[in-house]
Structure 1
Amino acid sequence: MATYLDTQAPPRVELTAADRALAQALQINGRASFRELAEVLGVSDQTVARHWARLRSSGALRVLGLTDPLRLGESPWFVRVRCTPDAAESIGRALARRTDTTWVNLISGGTEISCSVRTPEPSRGDTLLLQRLPRTPRVVDVAAHCLLHVFFGQNLSSINKTGPLTPEQAAALAPPAAPPPPAESGPAVGLDSADREMLDLLARDGRAPVGELARATGLSPSTVRRRMAELRAEGLLYYDVEYHPDIVHRAFRASLWLEIDPARLPEAGNALAAHPEVSFAAAVTGAANLFAAVDVPNAQFFYRYVTESVATLPGLRHTATAPIHRTLKGPGPYLPPAPRPE
């Protein structure tokens, strides 16, 4: 099956105001029915269905059902791979095709790769990070940082901050708040084979029909609905909207690696998460213990953001930046299919 990696010039799809309202609604509640979405958006069911069909078939966006690795006792990592100048894209494409990677980006003018990697168990974290990547030809250096806490991201994205829905509309769609992440004692949620089959399908299509999920898992439709609700209430399952890279991101994107006084890290992380420019923020291991992805209109705006907003973060000791050149893979484990021709 073809993917965006194999598409030389994917069609650009502009989001209208109605499209953005629907995208924000789906970011809040990815499995809301057309009727529920229509009630909140103030349009007909048929209008919502028509907008969704156009956006999905054009490759503009898709809804994904994803899992929190910390809820599964897995180890999530941020990895930076420095390559020889001619190798970053080919190695990045290979990483993007792996199901244990997400958010594969070419950074620093396309000479480095950044990506997120999740490993099934902490003891197996060196399988990709410490063994295979450093021995890959034309890889110069690998740096890995374990994710410790997410301040903004996962089920939240930039459209939660900038979308057109009113607070009342957003609240009408919002699911119950999930409990805090599990303690050091281990995973809070256990999964059986049916759960894993269902979650694998949702990672490909977060709005997969209940009947399709029931056939794949061997469960009844009512059991599928109940189990999805349980996993979501427990904070393991969440829904995210993946956009085609050409339609959402602003002209200048960058990664921030900040060194924060450990005593001020929660305060700084929460302050950073509130910035409208920030699409992701998390505490990580290493000297640079706060990571963020930033999306702004241009380099001049980024300069003002770093020197004005970032500079005032509590406990800030050091700042490093890396411009994002190109996104090869988004939030899900599977690459999206190429858009269907109209």
Structure 2
Amino acid sequence: MTESVVLDDVDRGLLHALQLDGRIPFARVAEVLGVAETTVARRYKRLRSVAGLRVVGAVNGVLFGRSAWTLRLRCTPDVALPLARALAKRPDVSWVHVMSGGAEISCHAQLPPGEETLLLEKLPRAGRVLGVSAHSVLAAFTLPSDWSGLHWLDPVQVSGLRPVEPSVAQVEVDDTDEALLELLAVDGRMSYAELAGRAALSESTVRRRLDILRHNGVVSYQVDVPPSVLGYGIQARLWMTVPPHALTDVGRRLAEHAATSFVAATTGPTNLVAVVACRDSGGLYRYLTEKVGALREITSLETAVLMRTVKQG
């Protein structure tokens, strides 16, 4: 069980380093942490096997005209898990959660141009789906890849590990690139040699193409670890309504909270969504009453506890 994993300073430092750069060489991490490279490699292997740690290559769909959506489905409890698993099989769907005692599902989708309605049209017809609420993501104030729950290193250590920011420019992606991206979506730290072997390319070609894709913002390497491993026993999704004139300010203030791993402005019956992680139900209560309650511009709030994560990242 991931909840029983005990993390020390090396583990936490490694997780923070991977958040900064998912493909960072273990030698650099070891130098900053003051331990042997073999120790870092061993800890990474342990966290993968017993804590559910993954590093994945995430494609920036915006560069290819994809639109981001967050979906909320109400359903009967008997169909929630099978439907969540079916959604999780789609490559364009991520962060699939079963909520509210099995009566709701939430997920995110990146849909290509012209296909925005295909998934949305199919969902209400699925058996025992009682309702679908689709929210187009207009602006993200913080993302899971930036979550402060992983922060552990001091500013000097961070400066020694942070990668160069990508230029985020348009770049042509061919079949070879797509094959590499598919492999990285499974394991973002797959070695150049293994990538070359699986994609039937030379190692030098793999290095060159990945450098180009990363430099131009096509792919980023993100760390994915269950919050329970870090001591956060409860997660919840919040849907809020805020007057348009205050939306940006409230979104930015929520993003500054240590509990929030995702905050975004959306379309739909509510216009602000967030995901929070707290130590326990008491911590969630205090967060809602003290932190969220202090934001007077929020005129309505719905909360659903995440009961099960079917797909993460």
Same fold (TM over 0.5): yes
Q: Percent identity among equivalent residues?
A: 42
Map of 2:18 onto structure 1 = 26
Where does residue 292 of structure 2 map in the other structure? 310
Cα distance change, pair 212–94 in 1 and its aligned pair in 2 (3 A): same
- Code of the aligned partner of 1:173: L
Which structure carries more helix by proportion?
2
8 Å contact from structure 2 (residues 77, 103) kept in 1: yes
Q: SS at 2:97's partner residue?
A: strand
Paired position in structure 2 for 1:136: 126
> What is the match of residue 153 of structure 2?
165
Return the match for 1:107 from 99, 108, 117: 99
Question: 2:283 matched to which residue of 1?
Answer: 301
Give CA deviations for 1:205-228 in whole Å, capped at 9, x if unaligned: 000111222334454433322332
Question: 1:239 — aligned with what?
Answer: 221
Cα separation, partners in 2 of 1:227 and 1:154, compared to 1, 3 Å: farther
TM-score (norm. length: structure 2): 0.92
> C-alpha displacement at 1:173, in angstroms?
1.0
1:98 Cα offset (Å): 2.4
CA separation in 1, counterparts of 2:287 and 2:167?
A: 33
SS of 2:292's equivalent? helix
2:269 aligned partner: 287
Aligned equivalents of 1:301 and 1:56: distance in 2? Answer: 28
Counterpart residue number, 1:269: 251
Secondary structure in structure 1 of the residue aligned to 2:178: helix
Q: Take 2:45 and 2:206, find their aligned partners in 1: how far apart are those partners? A: 24
Aligned residue number for residue 234 of structure 2: 252
Deviations 1:115-150 (A, max 9, x none): 1122222x21111122x2111111111111111222
Mapped to 2, the partners of 1:107 and 1:249 lie a distance apart of 20
Report SS of the residue matched to 1:82.
Answer: strand
Report deviation, 1:54: 1.7
Once the two structures are overlaid, the 10-residue window that deviates more, 189-198 or 23-32, is 189-198
Structure 1 segments of 4 or more deviating over 6 A?
Answer: none
Q: What are the ranges of 5 or more consecutive residues in structure 1 without an aligned counterpart? A: 1-8, 183-187, 332-342
DSSP-derived class of the 2:23 partner: coil
* Deviation sequence 1:175-216 (CA, Å, 0-9, x none): 223457x8xxxxx44311111111111100000111222334
1:323 aligns with 2:305: yes
| Matching of residue 14 in structure 1 with residue 6 in structure 2 | yes
Q: Cα distance, 1:276 vs. partner?
A: 0.2
Judge conservation of contact 2:69–2:136 (CA < 8 Å) in 1.
yes
Offset at residue 249 of structure 1 (A): 5.9
For residues 212 and 138 of structure 2, what CA distance do their matches in structure 1 show?
A: 24
How far does residue 245 in structure 1 lie from its aligned partner after superposition? 6.3
CA contact (8 A) 1:61 1:241 kept: yes
Q: How far apart are the structure 2 equivalents of 1:249 and 1:129?
A: 35
Cα 1:220–1:87 change in 2 (3 A) is same
Partner Cα distance (1:238, 1:289) in 2: 27
* Alignment length (residue pairs): 313
Residue number in structure 2 paired with 1:174: 162
Contact 1:13 1:60 in 2 (8 A): no
1:144-171 superposed Cα distances (whole Å, 9 cap, x missing partner): 11112221115322434xx321111112
Residues 13 and 303 of structure 1, relative CA distance in 2, 3 Å threshold? closer
Q: Does 1:203 align with 2:185?
A: yes
The CA RMSD measured in Å over matched residues stands at 2.2
Are residues 14 and 94 of structure 1, via their aligned partners in 2, closer, same or farther at CA, if it must alter by over 3 Å? farther
* Aligned match for 2:54, one of 62, 72, 82: 62
Question: Is residue 94 of structure 1 aligned with residue 76 of structure 2?
Answer: no
- TM-score using structure 1 length: 0.84
Residue 194 (structure 1) aligned with residue 167 (structure 2): no
| Paired position in structure 2 for 1:36 | 28
* 1:44-100 deviation digits (Å, cap 9, x = unpaired): 111111111222233531211111222221122111111113221221122222222
* Structure 2, unaligned runs of 5 or more: none
Does the aligned pair in 2 maintain the 1:252–1:296 contact within 8 Å? yes
1:95–1:248 Cα change, 3 Å:
farther
Specify which of 80, 83, 93 is matched with residue 75 of structure 2: 83
